[in-house]
Structure 1
């Protein structure tokens, strides 16, 4: 009876293994490197240029404030030995005033820049997702994985990154 149970258990295990191998063999798996795709897209560079143009005046103002602060700090260090106490206090006051202006303008600008970049990147990620779905459907892929989740890929035929770049590049 024990031999029969062992044989039956072995038969069930072998059958389950055979069917799972058959199921796995039938799957078509693709891989995509989303980060590499994102970096290769012409839209990514266009987004950067658009955002820089959109915030150009504010960025230049922040840079001007930085230069002014640096100028007064250098002046104080360079001429510190010859400046009177009143002149040093005046320079310190200008540095504090410019620093306050810088903080008041830089933090909101930084937050707004990050928000706008995130909006545009999310739009691009959505386009990438649509392209991946379309390619997967067209070419009958069962699974498409992010390349960072794949330890080994048998050949580059299942790497869909360039196909996705080509497809998204054609989108507006």
Structure 2
């Protein structure tokens, strides 16, 4: 009796495995290199230019502060032997003021630039996602994997070019 139950269970497991294997064989799987598409998108350069222009004045202000600090440091180093103690003190104070201003302005600016870049990156990733959905549905693909998570895939399973083409059409 025990042997009969074991055989019945083994038969059920085997038939389930065969059914699931045949069901999986019908699925169409593809890969997409999301990172490569992101880097190849024409919108990336436009966004970088937009962000640079958006923060242009503040970046130039920081660059000017850096030049001022460098000027004062070079002047102090060059003319220290001929300066009075009061002049040295004034230059040292200016150097400290420039460094303080740089610290106060550089950190928040860098954070704001990173925040904006993140916002724009998320928008582009949304476009990529929509393009993947479009290409996958037109090519009747059941499952799309990120190429970075796959050890190997034949080129015929790679939808990256079609997705990049679709994203390039979208603006």
- Give 2:59's aligned residue: 59
Pairwise CA distance, 1:36: 0.9
Gaps of 5+ in 2: none
SS of residue paired to 2:152:
coil
Distance 2:149 2:121 in 1: 22
**Number of residue pairs aligned between Structure 1 and Structure 2:** 171
- Give 2:155's aligned residue: 156
Distance 2:61 2:42 in 1: 29
Matches within 5 A, 1:8-157: 8-153=8-153, 155-157=154-156
SS of residue paired to 1:67:
helix
Distance 1:163 1:85 in 2: 70
Pairwise CA distance, 1:135: 0.8
RMSD: 1.6
SS of residue paired to 1:144:
strand
Task: Give the structure-2-normalised TM-score.
Answer: 0.91
Task: Give the structure-1-normalised TM-score.
Answer: 0.90
Runs ≥4 in structure 1, deviation > 6 angstroms? none
More deviation in 107-116 or 91-100? 107-116
Pairwise CA distance, 1:82: 4.0
More deviation in 89-98 or 112-121? 112-121
Pairwise CA distance, 1:22: 1.0
Pairwise CA distance, 1:127: 0.8
